[in-house]
Amino acid sequence: MASISVSVPSARLAEELSDIDGADVFVWKMDAASPRPRIDIVVPPYMSGNPLGWLEGVEVGLVQGQAIGYDGIEDRLPAGVVFANAATVHEAATAELAVALTLTAQRSVDRFVRAQVSGDWEQISTAGLADRRVMVLGYGGVGKAVAARLAPFEIDLVAVASSARDENGIHVHSVDELPDLLPGVDIVIVTLPGGDATRHIVDDGFLSALAEGALVVNVGRGTLVDTDALVAHVKSRGIRAALDVTDPEPLPADHPLWSLEGVVIAPHVGGATDAMHPRIVRLLRRQIGHVLAGEAPENVVIRT
């Protein structure tokens, strides 16, 4: 069996992959020039900003990202590079947080946490989730994982994607239908990828079409939402928001979103659970196996 070289950003990952016959796994944190002129599989650090410039001048077979999203990646890759995202790694964790944020907003859990600090025992009736009409905007891996976890809550699901279709007994609406669908939903959970095609899809017109007091949950990318429009609608129409991602990000400490009533914010931690490491290891093992066998890798989303 031919040998391939695999760079990973941590000693922990290197140790987890060290038993694969035919794979020479070594640590490259991508904070300095490549130690080798040729690397068959490069795994950049997770959530690491822009280390991809270090690939310039290196012969690379595959760049294996550790995130699902890849907006802006193509512009930072040298020519002739194949890039795969980390589909199968973060969907479950991101869906968990989407449901948690939705329940937090609907059941006023954030209010109870604040009351605990001062020892206030205040019983209130909240909106709840059962019998609500919930739109999942983006019906890819994360969107389907969110829908699966919402099913036991007895909600009325409205699935929306770029094109209409019927899938596993669920009718998926097209984004072109949004103007007709939005007035009838109570909650919108946005799971779309970022990029020019989806930038500010949740804009003033989108928010205006929602009923007063509707909830917008964003676990996709911050740029999906026009932040200024969201702030205006929270203030004027009682639109609520539960956000794992924001624009700008990180959200400045003096930004009005922090203090608006009806807004819950998490600091982009959708995939940050202990499920990530074993899942990225499983994906890397499969990718190494594909390359060793001369097969096409999984999850290829960019070819520069």
Catalytic residues: 221, 249, 268
Q: 187-190 and 215-218 as β-strands: parallel, antiparallel, unpaired?
A: parallel
DSSP state of 225: B
Alpha helices in 119-249 (DSSP H): 141-150, 178-181, 204-209, 227-237
- Distance between CA atoms of residues 257 and 194, nearest Å: 21
- Enter the DSSP assignment of 265: E
Say how far residue 167 (Cα) sits from the centre of its chain.
22
Q: What per-residue string of b and e applies to 165-183 under the rule 16 or more CB within 10 Å gives b?
A: eeeeeeebbebeebeebbe
Q: Tell me which amino acid residue 47 is.
A: M
Closest CA to 23 of 282, 280, 284, 279: 284
Burial of 117 (0-12, 13-18, 19+ CB in 10 A): exposed
